[in-house]
């Protein structure tokens, strides 16, 4: 994926140059960005179906482990909501995308078509698909969500008898994500066409607006990590956030180089146990948090949505922002760490609530990779803090050991990732295979019950 990252950067630079040097030619390149967005839209329904079905199963099983699971899920929900609210506040203060007015004629036409005088009854009935399979083929995201919710809860009711179906959905999810990974190799072409067309139409206004959303996103993530997570960690466990982040410095460098927090999952499990959090708490909290505690993703989806709406000259009211973003947060559960899943979730939310804005996802393609590092780092920091806090609240955290570890008196064994000084029953498991509490779908850890 390093080659893809470099290719996207090169494509963005070339797109900007073409946009300034030959604006008329650049405008004609818009179909390249539109084609890439259409490929992403093609994957929306299957991605949402698989992640919601598996996500519901993971929530139910995490809750069954008792107090730890309930506390973890409650905390994850609260923090994701808080991150979403912070993104809303910052986005409405910065107004990213304001003044660009990209393709206002087509946007106005789409808005006129979207009005249509649909009644509440028509809207509700429209959520019900003609058949279960049609919800996956007609591009109606709310229909897909309804069928996925029904399927997920039905699998819960089946209990052990539903496990083969759940495994089948996991295999389908692997297949779908593999297709998405293939599509993402077209990102440089899409980024080149989209950025060239945008710069050709609006000139410096485009670059200024893109810079505003990127810098605003970075600043918001920093404020969230040090202001919100730091405060909660100190109040809950009396640990300084800077000390904890320094302890996890190697993991942050690994994430920064790969743009994915998934690469640091095994090391986070080992380091949290070495820090003094009990194995059961780590085994439940870390894998579940990787799918459900997506603070950075919540901020990203919020600001990207507001940017697209403002850039197309149709900013969203607060009343329209909240349900749209809540949908995106729900739809993103379980798709953490998958390249392109953020763009698919963004497109799916807009398709379900504001279809006239979906083409605006093309404006984000060029800068999505620039924001993915901050998104991954924020998600990782949130999960590390959550593990310490939940260990503290459940009295499964050795504070004295943590002080020694954070002070450098008990260094982590980087060679084996195993704490040789800990009792045998509290040492980290063999990290060459998935933790006992998890199954993997090739990308994401999914919590499952112990047998």
3-state secondary structure of 410: coil
Nearest-angstrom CA–CA distance, 88 and 375:
16
Cα separation, 393 vs 49, whole angstroms: 34
pLDDT of residue 425: 42
Q: pLDDT tens for residues 246-299?
A: 999 888 877 775 556 666 777 888 899 899 998 778 877 887 787 778 888 888
Tokens of 426: 């509290």
pLDDT for the residue numbered 84: 83
* Local structure of residue 223 (DSSP, 8 states): I
Residue 442 half-sphere exposure toward CB, CA atoms < 13 A = 15
Residue 447, phi then psi, degrees to nearest 5: -65, 140
Low-confidence ranges of the chain (pLDDT < 50): 1, 104-118, 420-451
Angle at 384 between CA 378 and CA 387, to 5 degrees: 140
Per-residue confidence (pLDDT) for residue 224, from 0 to 100: 93
What are residue 397's DSSP bridge partners? 277
* Segment holding 125, helix H or strand E: helix 120-126
Residues facing 439 on adjacent strands? 446
Instruction: Show the tokens assigned to 377.
Output: 């780092």
Q: What is the pLDDT of residue 147?
A: 84
Are the C-beta atoms of residues 353 and 123 closer than 8 Å to each other? no
pLDDT of 381: 93
Kindly list the structural domains of the chain, giving each domain's residue range(s) and its CATH number in brackets, ordered by start. 2-447 (1.10.3860)
**Helix, strand or coil for residue 57?**
helix
């Amino acid at each position: 994926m390093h080659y893809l990252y470099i290719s996207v950067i090169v494509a963005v630079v070339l797109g900007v140059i073409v946009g300034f040097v030959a604006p008329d030619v650049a405008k004609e390149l818009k179909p390249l960005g539109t084609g890439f967005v259409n490929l992403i839209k093609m994957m929306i329904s299957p991605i949402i179906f698989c992640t919601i079905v598996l996500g519901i199963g993971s929530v139910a099983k995490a809750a069954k482990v008792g107090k730890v699971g309930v506390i973890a899920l409650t905390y994850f929900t609260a923090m994701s909501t808080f991150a979403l609210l912070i993104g809303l506040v910052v986005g409405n203060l910065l107004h990213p995308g304001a003044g660009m007015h990209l393709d206002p004629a087509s946007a106005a036409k789409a808005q006129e078509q979207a009005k249509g005088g649909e009644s509440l009854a028509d809207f509700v009935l429209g959520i019900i698909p003609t058949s279960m399979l049609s919800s996956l083929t007609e591009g109606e995201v709310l229909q897909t969500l309804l069928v996925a919710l029904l399927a997920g809860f039905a699998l819960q009711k089946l209990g052990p008898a539903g496990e083969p179906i759940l495994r089948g959905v996991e295999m389908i999810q692997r297949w779908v994500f593999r297709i998405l990974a293939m599509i993402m190799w077209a990102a440089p072409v899409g980024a080149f066409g989209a950025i060239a067309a945008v710069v050709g139409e609006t000139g410096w206004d485009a670059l200024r607006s893109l810079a505003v959303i990127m810098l605003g996103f970075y600043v918001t993530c920093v404020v969230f990590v040090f202001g919100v997570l730091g405060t909660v960690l100190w109040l809950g466990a009396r640990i300084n956030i800077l000390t904890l982040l320094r302890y996890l410095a190697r993991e942050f460098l690994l994430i920064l180089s790969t743009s994915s927090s998934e690469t640091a999952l095994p090391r986070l499990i080992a380091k949290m146990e070495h820090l003094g959090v009990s194995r059961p708490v780590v085994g439940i909290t870390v894998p579940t948090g990787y799918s459900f505690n997506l603070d950075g993703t919540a901020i990203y989806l919020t600001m990207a949505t507001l940017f697209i709406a403002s850039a197309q000259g149709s900013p969203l009211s607060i009343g329209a922002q909240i349900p749209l973003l809540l949908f995106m947060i729900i739809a993103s559960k379980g798709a953490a760490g998958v390249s392109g899943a953020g763009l698919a979730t963004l497109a799916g939310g807009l398709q379900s609530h504001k279809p006239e804005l979906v083409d605006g996802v093309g404006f984000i393609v060029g800068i999505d990779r620039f924001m993915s590092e901050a998104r991954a780092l924020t998600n990782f920091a949130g999960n590390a803090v959550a593990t310490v806090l939940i260990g503290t609240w459940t009295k499964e955290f050795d504070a004295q050991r943590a002080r020694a570890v954070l002070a450098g008196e008990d260094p982590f064994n980087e060679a084996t990732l195993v704490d040789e000084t800990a009792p045998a029953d509290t040492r980290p498991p063999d990290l060459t295979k998935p933790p006992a509490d998890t199954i993997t779908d090739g990308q994401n850890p999914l919590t499952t019950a112990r047998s």
